[in-house]
Amino acid sequence: MKLAVVGGGSTYTPELIDGFARLRDTLPIAELVLIDPATERLELIGALARRIFAKQGHPGRVTTTADLDAGVEGADAVLIQLRIGGQAARLQDETWPLECGCVGQETTGAGGLAKALRTVPVVLDIAERVRRASPDAWIIDFTNPVGIVTRALLRAGHKAVGLCNVAIGFQRKFAALLDLTPSDIHLDHVGLNHLTWELGVRKGGPDGEDLLPGLLAEHGAAVAEDLRLPRALLDRLGVVPSYYLRYFYAHDAVVRELGGKPSRAAEVAAMEKELLGLYADPSLDEKPELLAKRGGAFYSEAAVDLAAALLGDGGPGPASVQVVNALNNGTLPFLPDDAVIEVQARVDRSGPVPLAVPRLEPLYAGLVAHVTAYEDLALDAAVRGGRERVFKALLAHPLVGQFDLAQGLTDRLLAHNKEHLAWA
Amino acid sequence: MKLAVVGGGSTYTPELIDGFARLRDTLPIAELVLIDPATERLELIGALARRIFAKQGHPGRVTTTADLDAGVEGADAVLIQLRIGGQAARLQDETWPLECGCVGQETTGAGGLAKALRTVPVVLDIAERVRRASPDAWIIDFTNPVGIVTRALLRAGHKAVGLCNVAIGFQRKFAALLDLTPSDIHLDHVGLNHLTWELGVRKGGPDGEDLLPGLLAEHGAAVAEDLRLPRALLDRLGVVPSYYLRYFYAHDAVVRELGGKPSRAAEVAAMEKELLGLYADPSLDEKPELLAKRGGAFYSEAAVDLAAALLGDGGPGPASVQVVNALNNGTLPFLPDDAVIEVQARVDRSGPVPLAVPRLEPLYAGLVAHVTAYEDLALDAAVRGGRERVFKALLAHPLVGQFDLAQGLTDRLLAHNKEHLAWA
Amino acid sequence: MKLAVVGGGSTYTPELIDGFARLRDTLPIAELVLIDPATERLELIGALARRIFAKQGHPGRVTTTADLDAGVEGADAVLIQLRIGGQAARLQDETWPLECGCVGQETTGAGGLAKALRTVPVVLDIAERVRRASPDAWIIDFTNPVGIVTRALLRAGHKAVGLCNVAIGFQRKFAALLDLTPSDIHLDHVGLNHLTWELGVRKGGPDGEDLLPGLLAEHGAAVAEDLRLPRALLDRLGVVPSYYLRYFYAHDAVVRELGGKPSRAAEVAAMEKELLGLYADPSLDEKPELLAKRGGAFYSEAAVDLAAALLGDGGPGPASVQVVNALNNGTLPFLPDDAVIEVQARVDRSGPVPLAVPRLEPLYAGLVAHVTAYEDLALDAAVRGGRERVFKALLAHPLVGQFDLAQGLTDRLLAHNKEHLAWA
Amino acid sequence: MKLAVVGGGSTYTPELIDGFARLRDTLPIAELVLIDPATERLELIGALARRIFAKQGHPGRVTTTADLDAGVEGADAVLIQLRIGGQAARLQDETWPLECGCVGQETTGAGGLAKALRTVPVVLDIAERVRRASPDAWIIDFTNPVGIVTRALLRAGHKAVGLCNVAIGFQRKFAALLDLTPSDIHLDHVGLNHLTWELGVRKGGPDGEDLLPGLLAEHGAAVAEDLRLPRALLDRLGVVPSYYLRYFYAHDAVVRELGGKPSRAAEVAAMEKELLGLYADPSLDEKPELLAKRGGAFYSEAAVDLAAALLGDGGPGPASVQVVNALNNGTLPFLPDDAVIEVQARVDRSGPVPLAVPRLEPLYAGLVAHVTAYEDLALDAAVRGGRERVFKALLAHPLVGQFDLAQGLTDRLLAHNKEHLAWA
């Protein structure tokens, strides 16, 4: 089995490598290709990857290349984990929306649109080259905004699945709080990428007992603190929203908070630099502690599970039920079939098929429908370009919605992303 | 033909009477019953109504009563035009949401929810009594929020149609600007009550030439000024939103503006008082000039047209195509069938059937879906009561959406409406 | 010695009575007259006062009357503790400013102006009657806004001192934290009423060692929590602002917080009702626990100390140095001599003389000068009336400052206070 | 007479040259030295200056140099007109404060502080070198923020006067509206630089008839539109605030407006480029039309008048009464003597002496005192550096005042100005 990782030079990658090494029984990788145009950084990561594999006795071969076409040739699966424009672009996404009184975040709101505009054309181009080089390969997209990017890939006819670590994070967190093993936890995880709610926490499987009421009663405070949302919100709703719903449920407070703090620029840049310094140490043969602070926890577990299911023999074991981003196809009846949703799905060689989900209450469904309409326009703007399409996507976003804000955000988005947008 | 008007003691009523008198050929009323518990005011209005009928030579009889059951007995159609709590309650609706930084308006946002909570149970009770007294009578609801009230009536199985004067106002306005007769104008009017867009202005009928681009090019400034929205918004959208979309597209600016002005209390109270003074003059036999400033223009024309179509011989003349609030039934495919939408419909004795409408772009459909979900919860709260249902409806509203706002608004809504909410 | 308490029917009064009983050696009262037009409530309080005196063996006589002139006849000192309009007016003060996005508080900002407008003319009238009945009596004003009311009294030539419990509260709090007796703590307390900073906490007297740096280092968190201000603010400033500076240093956060919570109406009304219920119990002969939650801690201690110094033999003991509201007379050199400031003063039979204070840094002096200018206009508006004077006072307030806000606040202030403003 | 212009390479300079040419009778310049390190741009401006002098028959010599010491050698007066960091820094000043919900402007609020921090040390260094090269030379500062920079210069003992074109602009505007010659207009212009009010518009001189009431009655609308303030504000105040008071009286509206528009970056850069293109044309021998849009109207008139008065024979003609920035020295009695204020002054060889001004009402005086305190801290931060000094200056500013805002602004100011602040 050959696996290619596009964006393999990311400082995240050792997290992934560590998972591949630990979980080699689940996903027996013969060749792992790390692909990245940033060759210096790539070599650093590649060498560390080899040391991690060696230490853990993983027999697979790790190679590196800046040549995308060569790298994905013959791959069974291709993970895409990019950040077009790097941390610099992310920091822009977090900053200029604040000038208009709107939340600055790289996957939500106006910042998320900027990222989509930068990213979609690049990922579509990569996918096209993957299709030419390895027509049967599965594309696993971990590149944000995962929902819009996956929708772009599927609309263009690619064999693609979108992956996010929010659900697996909740699964592990809840398992720890409930003193259960993660595989005993089935989440009624419903919504769009970064706009999901855990409607139930079931023991044993989709039809198991719902542990959520007890979990909230006993551990509500801990869960709320983690999400940085008021405990009363969880109590009144009786469900657990994703962390990213903070940008909706506490929008103005977050804007105020961001305006009262330094931007995260220095902090993140420093951490990246420190990580690269650690990676360069030839005696390092495991992922360093510091990486845990970088985000992306359990990403490797989720990726291994997903790749194993997509490439495996398709047996109906519990491991093949996973939260992914996939076509709606009637799962959420109020959304178009070709919307991309994030839910539990049965995954095998033929791809993901969403499981039936509990009815999503109007309290959540209304917001989901609104954001889906925005994503439609965002995808349109990303693929076809043009200031008016950007403006309409922003006006359509529930966190924007006002004319002057949409105008101010459009102008700033274009001014700050000129170099990344071919049409601007 | 017998027509009953519940809330007949409203200062609006002379506008309606004037229309009945002028349009008696369209709607030949034999008996008009004005029903209102406020008997003093009702007698004033009733006497004026008789003078107006007399002056115009209308042969119909005008009666007044405080007894609802007697009044609606044998009626062919019952108009409901109520304001539970009167101007005092309206002023509350306009005020307390501002304390939370939210728009204060009696049909939109938190204020609109308060009005729905006060109104729905009363209208449902009236409708039930109409059903007992005159099982075949049509109920025409002009009581705001028309969308939610109509949905409540239809869900309870009543023969009801919702009526609003926004569309007829646009029709008359556009006709004047384009120098056409109103009946030559067919509007592609789509959305929910007070959340509509004119997507096209067609000459002659649903398939006629679209005059909207030319209208915006030539008269865009006048239309924008009327709506108090920036002209650039109309130009960029290429459609004409209803006046009430101001509360969405310019939400924060409106909040700011309302905070910088006196509340309208004194002004409106003064006008009502002056109107009643005029009505008391036994020499007055037409609607006074001042009434035009009271709002509700063309309400009588719309009501006459609708009643005539519902009670007429059902001929397929152009007059029987009208904008009403009716069941969606697939007209907007992204909404449930039992949602109530506001569109052009063919109306005859069997009720309204929406015409096919142009596809509603995601830019509008997302917001419509979001508000429909809110209306679902609002109706639930109105019928079943309870603080948590009110809280959820508010959190579900696109103009609220934040936890602390939903909490603050819930508390204020309940505090200010205690006397009108049986369960509070 | 005869002491009169105008507003003696307040639910606060038992706190005062308790202090008079405990501290009878300091302030030997022969007759205490409680004056209040609300006779029913007054009798309740009066009876309780007699029981408290009796239980503690206080030999003084307690009388009650609704007749102000008779009550103050022959008094040595008159305490004025009023709330014109009662809790209802206070709740208005806390509410309508929020409609304009401004903090709602009864002593600060627009709400504070409303209170000043309602209060100043009443207090001036009372003072005039005191002057006629007992020309030598001292007037001790505990009625908020104490700064403006005291300025009004002094400008009209009355023998008046303004009293607030903020400083004594800090003294007791700091003493507890530092494990010292209160009388060992001298505060460098500087500013205007409700706009003060503790610049130093000196041991033993005005020239003692400054304990503030150590206090902040060791107990900064506790002090910050009490004030509901970020600890970092105290650390960066190195001084302790009064609780009321929260409305300045965290203005928007407080507005947001107030908008997300119910108003305090129900809560306060309930507590008042409960207190009156307790007072009516003929077996109650001490102040009940619940009274501590009502605010006003240490008010009686401060009042006893102040009255004792004003009426005493003028000896220069440490007890006669107290924080009061008195004429500036050059103490803060950047303010007019006739401004009223709140600082430590030496108090004897001839009244208070401010002690020299440390230089107030520009960081605080700028704000103090700005608020003093507002107080000047507020007093002018209170004495002379008129919409334009109210508007100008609001525009001059550092928490308002914007034209549209000043307009919106003016309209609301007048609408909500019509019955209390003779000229409106 | 030798005049040196530091920052002579500015695109503004031709406006100044044009004035020198036109007004050569008032200010007979023998040598004009344009000094600028940007030599290419300087040569362009210098050549144009020579062509303008030649065309108008001005006998003076124009030289250019990048060598400050040589350039100011022997100068009678030195004009300083700098923009440290150029348009790029200005654009930063206009942008990052918006992230915290604060107005972004290069002379007011947080942006103005940034400019002060960048500018003061540079100007003090230049002044020191002027003092060494030409101990008797007058320094005329046109560099913003003029108030703080002039205060820095005077505190360091320099012979300096601060100059701004706001007052002369009003004089010319009012003269045109009133159909008078400018010299007939004496303004009661009072306050701090960019924080002034015209309290009176007198005909003929300081004691002339006040034309302001009539001016407002007849031309209030035009004046208000110019200032972009509501006419009602002017009517209610009865005075004319400077344009920069918009950032106070309409702060939130301006923030909202700025957030809804593109930043001015592209626009200004384009204009500068176009101007330089025009200047390079060897046939151009007058200031181009476009320059009028660049701002700075009547700057040359004001500069010529001021230089002429400072260098002239000191005759007491009316021309020597001008609005300048100079030491308060008791003119505004509520400010320290060493504050720098902007008022009418009698100017002769010994410098400016403020005329007596009408009493500044508390409505304005409170704000002036508050901003003066800020300027004190701003100057301290500019001269001594340090994050805490910056933080305190921001917290002291009436447009900031809140802890979290001051924190967020401090961090952003430092992050965006690192390269210009030696100590950061």
Classify residue B278 as exposed, middle or buried by CB count within 10 Å of its CB (0-12, 13-18, 19+). Answer: middle
Residue C378 reports pLDDT greater than 50: yes
- Calculate the average pLDDT of chain C: 94
Residues of D in contact with C232 (CB under 8 A): 403, 407
Residue C346, annotated as binding a ligand: no
Residue D401 reports pLDDT greater than 70: yes
CB–CB contact B366 A388 (8 Å): no
CB–CB contact C249 D402 (8 Å): yes
Among the listed ranges A364-373, C74-83, C222-231, C260-269, which one has the minimum average pLDDT value?
C260-269
Q: Helices in D32-108 by DSSP H: which ranges?
A: 39-55, 68-72, 86-99
pLDDT at A138: 98
Share of chain C above pLDDT 70, in %: 97
Residue D318 reports pLDDT greater than 50: no
Residues of A in contact with C252 (CB under 8 A): 256
Residue C4: beta bridge partners? C33, C78
Task: Give how far A110 is from chain C: nearest CA, Å.
Answer: 23
Report yes or no: B413 at the C interface, CB cutoff 8 Å: no
Among the listed ranges B41-45, B288-292, C152-156, D257-261, which one has the minimum average pLDDT value?
B288-292
Task: Count other Cβ atoms within 10 Å, centred on residue C399.
Answer: 23
Residue A51 pLDDT level (bands cut at 50, 70, 90)? very high
Report yes or no: D371 at the C interface, CB cutoff 8 Å: yes
Residue C265 pLDDT level (bands cut at 50, 70, 90)? low
- Calculate the average pLDDT of chain B: 94
Residues A354 and D324: their CA atoms lie apart, in Å, by: 75
Q: Determine contact, residues D400/D406, Cβ cutoff 8 Å.
A: yes
Instruction: Name the CA radius of gyration of chain D, rounded.
Output: 21
Q: Which long-range contacts (CB under 8 A, 24 or more apart) does C292-295 make?
A: C294/C11, C294/C12, C294/C15
Residue C144, annotated as binding a ligand: yes
CB–CB contact B236 A391 (8 Å): yes
Owning domain of residue D114:
2-164
Specify if C107 maps to a domain: yes
CB–CB contact D98 A98 (8 Å): yes
Sign of the torsion formed by the C-alpha atoms of D209, D214, D216 and D219: negative
CB–CB contact C402 D236 (8 Å): no
Q: Helices in D316-400 by DSSP H: which ranges?
A: 362-384, 387-396
CB–CB contact D236 C371 (8 Å): no
CB–CB contact C263 B412 (8 Å): yes
- Calculate the average pLDDT of chain D: 94
Residue C344 reports pLDDT greater than 80: yes
Q: Determine contact, residues B188/B358, Cβ cutoff 8 Å.
A: yes
pLDDT at D205: 87
Nearest to A100 among D259, D265, D412 (CB): D259
Q: Determine contact, residues B111/B93, Cβ cutoff 8 Å.
A: yes
CB–CB contact B260 C101 (8 Å): no
Residues D90 and D416: their CA atoms lie apart, in Å, by: 11
Task: Give how far B270 is from chain C: nearest CA, Å.
Answer: 15
- Active-site residues of D, by number, are 244
Specify if D171 maps to a domain: no
Residue D47 reports pLDDT greater than 80: yes
Specify if D127 maps to a domain: yes
Specify if C141 maps to a domain: yes
Specify if C8 maps to a domain: yes
CB–CB contact B391 A236 (8 Å): yes
Q: Determine contact, residues B393/B113, Cβ cutoff 8 Å.
A: yes
Report yes or no: B398 at the A interface, CB cutoff 8 Å: yes
CB–CB contact D396 C363 (8 Å): yes
Looking at the structure of chain A, the number of domains it has is 1
Overall average pLDDT of the D320-349 stretch: 96
Residues C186 and C344: their CA atoms lie apart, in Å, by: 9
Query: What is the side-by-side order of every strand in the sheet holding B195-203?
Result: B185-192, B195-203, B240-241
| Matching residue, tokens 């924008």 | B224
Query: Which residue on chain C is closest to B412 by alpha carbon?
Result: C262
Residue D106 — left, alpha, or beta (φ > 0 → left; ψ -120 to 50 → alpha)? alpha
Residue C164, annotated as binding a ligand: yes
CA distances from B180 to B184, B187, B203, B204 (A): 7, 13, 9, 10
CATH of the domain at A14: 3.40.50.720
Please confirm, yes or no, whether B249 is among the known catalytic residues: no
pLDDT at B283: 95
Q: What is the pLDDT of residues B178-190, one digit of tens each?
A: 999 999 999 999 9
Q: Three-class SS of residue A18? A: helix
Specify if B319 maps to a domain: no
pLDDT at D268: 76
Q: What is the pLDDT of residues D208-255, one digit of tens each?
A: 999 999 999 999 999 999 999 999 999 999 999 999 999 999 999 999
Report yes or no: B418 at the C interface, CB cutoff 8 Å: no
Per-residue HEC secondary structure of C174-235 comes to HHHHHCCCHHHEEEEEEEECCEEEEEEEEECCCCCCECHHHHHHHHHHHHHHHHCCCHHHHH
How much is the ipTM here? Answer: 0.95
| Kind of pairing between the strands at D31-35 and D61-65 | parallel
Report yes or no: A405 at the D interface, CB cutoff 8 Å: yes
- Give me the DSSP letters along B191-250: EETTEEEEEEEEESSTTS-B-HHHHHHHHHHHHHHHHTS-HHHHHHH-SEE-GGGHHHHT
Report yes or no: C392 at the D interface, CB cutoff 8 Å: yes
Q: Which long-range contacts (CB under 8 A, 24 or more apart) does C154-157 make?
A: C154/C327, C154/C338, C154/C340, C155/C338, C155/C379, C156/C124, C156/C127, C156/C128
C partners (3+ CB pairs within 8 A) are A, B, D
Residues D384 and A205: their CA atoms lie apart, in Å, by: 66
Overall average pLDDT of the A360-387 stretch: 98
Q: Flag residues of chain B having pLDDT under 50.
A: 317-318
Query: Which residue on chain D is closest to B251 by alpha carbon?
Result: D256
Specify if C138 maps to a domain: yes
pLDDT at A33: 98
Residue C110 reports pLDDT greater than 50: yes
Identity of the residue numbered C296: G
Q: Three-class SS of residue D172? A: helix
Report yes or no: B99 at the C interface, CB cutoff 8 Å: yes
Residues of C in contact with A253 (CB under 8 A): 256
pLDDT at C152: 98
Where are the strands (E) in A36-142, listed by range? 61-65, 77-80, 138-141
Question: Is the preceding omega at residue C206 within 30 degrees of 0, hence cis?
Answer: no
CB–CB contact B253 D252 (8 Å): no
- Give me the DSSP letters along C96-127: HHHHTT----SSSHHHHHHHHHHHHHHHHHHH
Overall average pLDDT of the A32-49 stretch: 96
pLDDT at B87: 86
Identity of the residue numbered D212: L
Query: Which residue on chain C is closest to D250 by alpha carbon?
Result: C402
| Kind of pairing between the strands at B321-327 and B340-348 | antiparallel
Single pTM value for the model = 0.94
Q: Three-class SS of residue A359? A: coil
Residue A264, annotated as binding a ligand: yes
Report yes or no: B260 at the C interface, CB cutoff 8 Å: yes
Report yes or no: B103 at the C interface, CB cutoff 8 Å: no
Sign of the torsion formed by the C-alpha atoms of D306, D308, D311 and D314: negative
Residues B315 and B312: their CA atoms lie apart, in Å, by: 8
Report yes or no: A261 at the D interface, CB cutoff 8 Å: yes
pLDDT at C214: 97
Task: Give how far B263 is from chain C: nearest CA, Å.
Answer: 8
**Residue of C12, C244, C364, C374 marked active site:** C244
CB–CB contact A261 D415 (8 Å): no
Residues C359 and C209: their CA atoms lie apart, in Å, by: 17
Residues C324 and C146: their CA atoms lie apart, in Å, by: 10
Report yes or no: D418 at the A interface, CB cutoff 8 Å: no
Specify if B182 maps to a domain: no
Q: What is the pLDDT of residues A295-337, one digit of tens each?
A: 777 899 999 999 999 998 655 444 589 999 999 999 999 999 9
Nearest to C405 among B100, B259, B266 (CB): B259
Nearest to C99 among B257, B259, B266 (CB): B259
Q: Determine contact, residues A241/A268, Cβ cutoff 8 Å.
A: no
Residues D100 and A257: their CA atoms lie apart, in Å, by: 9
- Give me the DSSP letters along D234-265: HHHH-SEE-GGGHHHHTHHHHHHHHHTS--SH
Overall average pLDDT of the C231-236 stretch: 96
Residues of B in contact with C394 (CB under 8 A): none
Report yes or no: A410 at the B interface, CB cutoff 8 Å: no
Nearest to A403 among B233, B365, B396 (CB): B233
